[in-house]
Amino acid sequence: MAEPVRVRRLTDQEGQRLQQIVRRSSTSTVRYRRAMMLLASAGGSRVPVITQLLAADEDTVRDLIHRFNEIGMACLDPQWAGGRPRLLTADDEDFVIATATTRPVKLGQPFTRWSIRKLATYLRKVPDRVIRIGREALRCLLARRGVTFQRTKTWKESTDPQRDAKLDRIEHVLEHLPDRVFAFDEFGPLGIRPTAGSCWAPRNRPHRIPATYHRTHGVTYFHGCYSIGDDALWGVNRRHKGAAQSLAALKSIRAARPDGAPIYVIMDSLSAHKGAKIRVWANGHGVELCFTPTNASWANPIEAHFGPLRQFTLANSHHPNHTVQTRALQAYLRWRNTNARHPDVLTAQRRERARIRSEKGMRWGGRPRAIAA
């Protein structure tokens, strides 16, 4: 039997960048959808699951995954081209790109970055390989090959000495024990303020949301749990995030599988997730905590599902208080679990678990009228 199509193991930079695109969604729709496909695949979702999640074609998802495994993050930007034949050979273009992405100091030039004029002048004077190209053609070539002028940024590398071991364990449980695997994470703080978003509206008649400078309601944090096998998401808003709230979440996850058999919970390495009480409780209740490596929270499968949750409940919203905001989140979670687009037909037992979890909030987030402490 052929191996399932999935993305290769992401680097820290790739995982964090994909997570940033999905969370902020302040980019083109094409990049947003492709980033969600890749992040979902990295989280262990099969191609049919991703297809149903994004209403895409299976061949499109497979082609994107293969393309990512070949060229990396460049696959997020489609390459549409046309016009007259190119005047430069493919080797010449590769040489131009390699020169543009090399620091000028390494090539004996007395400056720290290229400008279009300086780069074009240098290419015409390279010994044994003179490339004559105009400034506008050079600018178009760089844009076509994904080389843009941008600020230099710092990046966090995972310094976790057990990075590979943790990723191996997460991949193992996702591959072999999906019905026993859950994911947990928080996002926030969530304030009460008008939040910009997007929606359908008549041309040149966008919907308006009032602005406010007052923040008198405080903040909350959404604590979410995701069942890999059931494709079900649930959670609750709390005023704080700490060890007590994390333990309550783990208890709700344990209640989802009351048979006493071991379960596996993927979560990041936040100190509130690793307290002594949590470890003691987990050891006594058959719960294995699978921590993501430091600065690699993208490996948590729940991250791909937080993006739609934000877009359809928080973006383009103007909630008057936290109670209304919490009810909106819970209403979306009930709708999402009822209309889960899982590729396989869920058994009656799974549907019943999803229905109970949606209605009662696993006795953890079923009362949106008040914010939990």
CA atoms within 13 A on the CB side of 190: 30
Contact in structure between 220 and 188 (CB atoms under 8 Å): yes
Which tops the pLDDT comparison, 206 or 25? 206
pLDDT of residue 370: 39
CB atoms within 10 A of CB 53: 21
For residue 4, name the pLDDT band (cuts at 50, 70, 90): confident
Q: How far apart are CA 300 and CA 173, in angstroms?
A: 12
Q: How far apart are CA 235 and CA 357, in angstroms?
A: 10
pLDDT of residue 287: 92
For residue 358, name the pLDDT band (cuts at 50, 70, 90): low
Q: Is the dihedral of CA 12, 173, 55, 341 positive or negative?
A: negative
Q: What are phi and psi of 180, to 5 degrees?
A: -110, 10
Q: Give the list of residues 6+ apart from residue 282 with CB closer than 8 angstroms, or none.
A: 250, 265, 288, 289
pLDDT of residue 355: 59
Q: Is the pLDDT of residue 6 over 50?
A: yes
Q: Is the pLDDT of residue 68 over 70?
A: yes
Q: Which residues partner with 223 through β-bridges? A: 186, 236
Angle at 116 between CA 110 and CA 120, to 5 degrees: 80
For residue 269, name the pLDDT band (cuts at 50, 70, 90): confident
Q: Is the pLDDT of residue 239 over 80?
A: yes
142 is written with which tokens?
Answer: 């760089």
Contact in structure between 5 and 42 (CB atoms under 8 Å): no
The average confidence (pLDDT) of the chain is: 84
Share of the chain above pLDDT 90, in %: 27
> Tens of pLDDT along 280-334?
999 999 999 999 998 888 889 998 888 888 888 888 888 888 889 889 899 999 9
pLDDT of residue 192: 84
Which residue stretches of 80-217 are H helix? 90-100, 116-124, 135-144, 163-176
Contact in structure between 191 and 273 (CB atoms under 8 Å): no
> Tens of pLDDT along 202-234?
888 887 777 776 777 888 999 999 999 888 999
CB atoms within 10 A of CB 119: 20
pLDDT of residue 180: 92
Q: Is the pLDDT of residue 181 over 90?
A: yes
Q: How far apart are CA 291 and CA 280, in angstroms?
A: 16
pLDDT of residue 190: 86
The order of strands in the sheet holding 287-291 is 232-238, 220-227, 181-190, 263-267, 287-291
Contact in structure between 223 and 186 (CB atoms under 8 Å): yes
pLDDT of residue 117: 92
| Residue range 72-99: mean pLDDT, rounded | 81
| H-helix or E-strand spanning residue 319 | none
Count Cβ neighbours within 10 Å for each residue of 266-285 and write b for 16 or more, e otherwise: bbbbbebbeeeebeeebeee
Contact in structure between 350 and 244 (CB atoms under 8 Å): no
Q: How far apart are CA 279 and CA 243, in angstroms?
A: 11
pLDDT of residue 215: 74
